[in-house]
Amino acid sequence: MKNKNNRINMASGLRILSAGALLVGSTAYASGWMMGEPGDPSTPSLIQSNIATQRLVDMMMKSAPHAAAGANEWFQTPSVFAEYGYNAVEDTRGAGFDTDINSATVGLNFLTKCDIAAGVMVNYGSTNGDNSYDGDNLGLTLSLAKSYDWFFMGFSTGYDNSDSRPGGGLQTDTDCYTLAPFIGAMYVKGNFSFSTAPTMVIRWQDFDTAGVSADSSDATFGLMNTASYQINEALSVSLMANWNCVVREDPVATTDHNWYSVGTKVSYRLTDKFTTYASYMIDLGNDTYDNQRATAGLSMEF
């Protein structure tokens, strides 16, 4: 959960509430009490949606047919994972401030009836920023996807609750609901695989601070592209290139609405069951935020 939404943006002309007082002339996302600014690439709900989608796509591409039918079709090839993530975010706006986000995600993926891929994830994040800002969040994400040969479709949905403490005794509680439908195509040829997945992450947020409430909604379109290559039985590498675009927002934010994310991921299978991985991504072309994200994780297949 990225509480970086607390960055002060003096440029917009929207109303703002602070500590129960209505202030005019700032953005609704400013002053640290409205969180999840559209266009913020480190927003937890956006990251969790992308993780859920990518894990399902990976699972569908790697799943091998077997000749089982019947009751055991409801829970096949389960795998669990634990992942640590670190975001370094710099708000390039004049009055913006920078944050570091440490997050942990644990999840379960499995195949169910009709080879539908399913997933559940829990995420906790802790944010620290300039001016003694801090915050934390806890979220749950559920996801389903189904492939038809090279084509796949699915969705993820999540709930995230966050508290942000921008200083001055203020505290904001935010409830964020996310729905992220996606479709896509995958191509597997021997040791090479490629997937592309257009995704729409739709969010509804409710903010509450000092007895004052507000809400917001926005939608961000993402095109997630991943190419992977199996070097040997244990080692595989992936290249990711995503494009993101905020297509709807209420209230309007002053952030950059288009940016790219590129990165790489290395996976190494330790044993039959355990695989470790690490990834690095950096955002490009975002005039508002400079964001880098590194992850390291361990997954286990039963």
Partner 1 sequence: MQRKFRNQFTRSKTGSSGGFFLSSGRLRPVALASVSLAFLLSGSCFAASPQNPDEWVFASAVSSSYGWGKSLRGWESTRLAIQTTLTAWQQSPASQPDGMAARDPSPTGLKQFLQHLPGPDSGKIEIIYLAAKHTPTGAWQFTGKDSGAVTWNELLQIAPSSHPCRLVILDVCHAAAVIKFPVWTQKMGAAATLLASARDEVTWELDFTKRQPVDLPARFPAAAAWLRQHLPASWDGRLSYLGLIWVQAFLQSPQPPQTLRQWQTFFARCEMESRKFQQVVGHKRASTISQFPLAP
Binding residues for partner 1, rule: CB under 8 A, are 62-72, 76, 114-115, 189-191, 230-234, 236, 269, 271-273, 301
CB of 154 to partner 1, least distance (A): 15
Of the candidates 178, 120, 154, the one whose C-alpha atom is nearest the C-alpha of residue 1 is: 178
| CA distances for 125 relative to 135, 160, 163, 171, angstroms | 8, 10, 10, 16
Question: What is the rounded distance in angstroms from the CA atom of residue 294 to the CA atom of residue 202?
Answer: 24
| CA distances for 144 relative to 22, 109, 178, angstroms | 41, 10, 14
Residue placing its CB nearer to partner 1 in the complex, 15 or 269: 269
Q: Which residues contact 27 (CB under 8 A, 6 or more apart)?
A: 9, 11, 12, 14, 16, 34, 37, 251, 253, 254
Residue placing its CB nearer to partner 1 in the complex, 22 or 69: 69
**DSSP strand pairing (192-209 vs 170-189):** antiparallel
Peptide bond into 166 cis (omega under 30): no
CB of 104 to partner 1, least distance (A): 27
Phi/psi of residue 300, each to 5°? Answer: -130, 130
Residue placing its CB nearer to partner 1 in the complex, 76 or 126: 76
CB of 65 to partner 1, least distance (A): 4
Residue placing its CB nearer to partner 1 in the complex, 248 or 273: 273
Residue 71 burial by CB count (10 A; 0-12/13-18/19+): exposed, middle or buried? exposed
Residue 300 in tokens? 């286990």
Is residue 194 a contact partner of residue 35, using CB atoms and an 8 Å limit? no
Residue placing its CB nearer to partner 1 in the complex, 24 or 64: 64
CB of 57 to partner 1, least distance (A): 16
CB of 111 to partner 1, least distance (A): 10
Residue placing its CB nearer to partner 1 in the complex, 113 or 248: 113
Residue placing its CB nearer to partner 1 in the complex, 211 or 272: 272
CB of 44 to partner 1, least distance (A): 31
Residue placing its CB nearer to partner 1 in the complex, 24 or 67: 67
CB of 70 to partner 1, least distance (A): 3
β-partners of residue 158 are 141, 178
DSSP secondary structure of 243-275: EEEEEEEES---S--EEEEEEEEEEEE-SSSEE
β-partners of residue 196 are 185, 225
CB of 78 to partner 1, least distance (A): 13
